[in-house]
């Protein structure tokens, strides 16, 4: 069984949100903040991560409810490919359904898009 989630977000919208530190702390884990919130904010990557979190919630079939966005970490492997690290209730919901996830992110200057495929391993 496969499930698919997709999301598209305007990078400018995320940039405006990041002006508020509470937004950053509510949406992005410490590990994500360390990757993308240095001296130079990487808004396209933050927007891509937002889109993955939304796409994950759609592939999970719940929407963004009953888990925190920080429980869905979007990190990068040694080659820069995104992957999910789940914790808390997000991990519990995925395990209850027996799902694993594969994600992909792309962006232009204005938009970031993500696809999340959920599958049974």
Alpha helices of the chain — where are they, by DSSP H?
Answer: 11-17, 21-27, 30-36, 43-60, 88-97
At 89 the pLDDT is 96
Tell me the catalytic residues. 58, 107
Could you tell me which of 93, 89, 54, 49 has the C-alpha nearest to residue 71? 89
Q: Please list, in sequence order, all residues whose beta carbon lies within 8 angstroms of the beta carbon of residue 112, skipping any fewer than 6 positions away.
A: 8, 9, 11, 14, 44, 47, 48, 50, 51, 105, 106
Rounded to whole angstroms, what are the CA distances from 36 to 48, 65, 74?
11, 25, 11
Candidates 96, 97, 91; CA nearest to 73 is 91
pLDDT tens track for 64-114:
888 999 999 999 999 999 999 999 999 999 999 999 999 999 999 999 999
- Tens of pLDDT, residues 28-59: 999 999 988 877 789 999 999 999 999 999 99
- Which domains does the chain carry? 2-120 (3.90.470.20)
Q: Which of 102, 95, 106 is nearest to 116 (CA)?
A: 102
């Amino acid at each position: 069984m496969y499930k698919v989630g997709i999301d598209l977000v305007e990078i400018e919208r995320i940039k405006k949100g990041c002006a508020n530190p509470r937004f950053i702390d509510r949406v992005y884990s410490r590990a994500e903040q360390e990757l993308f919130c240095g001296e130079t904010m990487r808004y396209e990557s933050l927007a891509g991560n937002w889109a993955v979190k939304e796409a994950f919630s759609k592939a999970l079939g719940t929407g963004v409810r009953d888990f925190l966005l920080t429980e869905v970490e979007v990190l990068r492997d040694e080659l820069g490919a995104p992957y999910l690290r789940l914790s808390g209730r997000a991990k519990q919901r995925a395990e209850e359904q027996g799902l694993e996830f594969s994600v992909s992110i792309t962006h232009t200057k204005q938009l970031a898009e993500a696809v999340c495929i959920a599958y049974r391993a």
